[in-house]
């Protein structure tokens, strides 16, 4: 008796059963869809241009003796598409006075979207050499321009220059500022001062950026003179939070006089004191400093700090001198009797430092700085990028208490007119 073999016969692999490279297939499909979308978009755009031309010239081949304009064929032109310039054939319209622009083309040919795209790509870390690779591909039949390293660099420079000029000339007379924070950042050989304002409702506003070699009196005075010329009010009390720079302190006093209620950044002061001490002495000193700064009573906080200076005097005189230096101004915010959250927010320059920290992420791809103008443009671009994510100050709901304290101080100083204007 014959038995059937249990071994399956070898069947040649059919052509229809071949392995398909699905990844390649998806990539090709994606490319085709992009090309289809781009071609369709260009057809829609050309249709819109023809509608503009019909609106200006009337229907094609229609006999209109009083036709105001006439068709004049087509000419090569460029429009912005996906972060690049693309060449297309633009319909033309002419009158006896010359060529008439088409409204739709003027809108699409504007370089503002392209400039914005370039700046955004640079700010997220795309190098000028890699800009073209960061864009979606276009069809081979399209002629593109404006994606080379030099073109991208020129656009970034022009755009950031315009942003910086507009920022540093923005009027400030409409801002009801209650707080002014000034802090510095060093980039290479350059020192930049950043001014941040906080209005009476707790909204943050980046006010400007100034560059110099160090935080000297000239640079600090230039900053405040610029703010004053743009409308910053200097005839009523203002809480000014500084990082401890003596030049900046003097410039603030020269500009505002007694109306400047100066608060020295407590974090900067704490770091300065601890830097004068060996590691083993820092924990207990830090605990006393934190206890003093957290106190609700100015005399008590003053007593704690003076006692600390006395204890440090014999072994660490530099640390003791640092404790005494500017002691009263580190406790200014305590004397205003503000709620805890708002007081914590206004006792340091953290809001300004947070703004500056965002600029470090923006300029991380710069390998070589070519002068102060480049530094200012990049840092300004980073600041303006950070402004987009601004939130109101922590404790902003208690800002009316700060405003009331400042206006009460105006009355004590005899600034009655300003207080009356504020009430009105």
Q: Could you tell me if residue 417 is inside a domain? A: yes
Residue 102: predicted pLDDT = 87
One domain for residues 33 and 154: yes
Of 165, 194, 216, the position where a domain reaches its end is 165
Q: From the first residue on, what is the mean pLDDT of each consecutive set of 10 residues in the chain (424 residues)?
A: 52 49 51 66 82 84 77 84 81 87 81 74 75 76 79 82 84 92 81 89 90 73 88 90 86 90 94 94 94 94 95 93 93 93 93 79 71 81 82 92 93 67 47
Pair of tokens at residue 373: 């103008």
Of 102, 135, 165, the position where a domain reaches its end is 165
Alpha carbon 329 to chain centroid, angstroms: 30
Q: Could you tell me the sign of the dihedral formed by the alpha carbons of 134, 135, 139, 143, in that order?
A: negative
One domain for residues 265 and 374: yes
One domain for residues 105 and 247: no
CA pair distance 251, 217, nearest whole angstrom? 6
One domain for residues 251 and 274: yes
Residue 3: predicted pLDDT = 54
One domain for residues 118 and 183: no
Nearest Cα to 236, choosing from 69, 87, 416, 86? 416
Q: How far is CA 315 from CA 42, 66, 67, 324, in A?
A: 79, 99, 97, 16
Tally of domains in the chain: 2
Residue 51: predicted pLDDT = 87
One domain for residues 157 and 179: no
One domain for residues 55 and 129: yes
Q: Could you tell me if residue 252 is inside a domain? A: yes
CA pair distance 53, 160, nearest whole angstrom? 36
Pair of tokens at residue 92: 């033309």
Contact (Cβ atoms closer than 8 angstroms) between residue 396 and residue 204: no
Q: Could you tell me if residue 196 is inside a domain? A: yes
One domain for residues 89 and 188: no
Residue 416: predicted pLDDT = 56
Contact (Cβ atoms closer than 8 angstroms) between residue 57 and residue 73: no
Read off the pTM: 0.73
3-state secondary structure of 101: coil
One domain for residues 228 and 375: yes
Edge to edge, the sheet with strand 260-264 lists 204-212, 190-199, 177-187, 238-242, 260-264
Residue 306: predicted pLDDT = 94
One domain for residues 46 and 148: yes
Q: Could you tell me if residue 208 is inside a domain? A: yes
Domain limits at 154? 24-61+69-165
Residue 401: predicted pLDDT = 95
Q: Could you tell me if residue 81 is inside a domain? A: yes
One domain for residues 329 and 181: yes
One domain for residues 123 and 183: no
């Amino acid at each position: 008796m014959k038995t059937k073999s249990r071994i399956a016969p070898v069947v040649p692999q059919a052509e229809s059963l071949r392995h398909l490279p699905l990844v390649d297939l998806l990539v090709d499909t994606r490319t085709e869809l992009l090309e289809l979308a781009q071609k369709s978009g260009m057809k829609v755009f050309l249709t819109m241009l023809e509608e503009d031309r019909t609106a200006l010239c009337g229907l094609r081949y229609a006999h209109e003796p009083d036709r105001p304009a006439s068709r004049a064929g087509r000419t090569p032109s460029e429009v912005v598409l996906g972060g690049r310039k693309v060449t297309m054939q633009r319909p033309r319209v002419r009158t006896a006075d010359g060529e008439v622009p088409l409204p739709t083309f003027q809108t699409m040919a504007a370089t503002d979207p392209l400039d914005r795209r370039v700046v955004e790509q640079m700010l997220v870390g795309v190098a000028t050499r890699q800009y073209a690779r960061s864009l979606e591909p276009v069809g081979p039949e399209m002629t593109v321009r404006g994606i080379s390293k030099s073109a991208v660099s020129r656009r970034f420079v022009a755009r950031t220059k315009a942003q910086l000029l507009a920022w540093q000339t923005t009027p400030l007379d409409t801002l009801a500022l209650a707080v002014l924070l000034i802090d510095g950042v060093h980039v290479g050989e350059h020192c930049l001062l950043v001014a941040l304002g906080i209005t009476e409702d707790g909204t943050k506003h980046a006010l400007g950026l100034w560059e110099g070699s160090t935080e000297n009196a000239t640079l600090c005075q230039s900053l405040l003179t610029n703010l004053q010329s743009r409308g910053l009010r200097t005839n009523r009390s203002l809480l000014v939070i500084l990082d401890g720079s003596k030049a900046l302190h003097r410039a603030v006093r020269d500009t505002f006089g007694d109306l400047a209620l100066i608060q020295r950044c407590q974090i900067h002061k704490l770091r300065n004191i601890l830097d004068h001490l060996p590691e083993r002495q820092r924990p207990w000193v830090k605990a006393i400093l934190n206890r003093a700064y957290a106190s609700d009573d100015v005399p008590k906080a003053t007593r704690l700090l003076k006692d600390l200076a006395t204890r440090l005097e014999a072994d660490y005189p530099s640390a003791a001198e640092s404790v005494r230096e500017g002691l009263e101004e580190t406790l200014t915010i305590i004397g205003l009797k503000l709620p805890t959250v708002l007081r914590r927010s206004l006792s340091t320059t953290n809001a300004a430092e947070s703004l500056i920290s965002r600029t470090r992420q923006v300029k991380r791809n710069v390998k070589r700085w070519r002068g102060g103008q480049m530094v200012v443009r990049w840092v300004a671009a980073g600041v303006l990028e950070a402004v987009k994510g601004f939130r109101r100050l922590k404790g902003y709901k208690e800002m009316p208490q700060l405003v009331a304290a400042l206006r009460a101080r105006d009355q004590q100083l005899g600034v009655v007119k300003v207080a009356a204007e504020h009430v009105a």
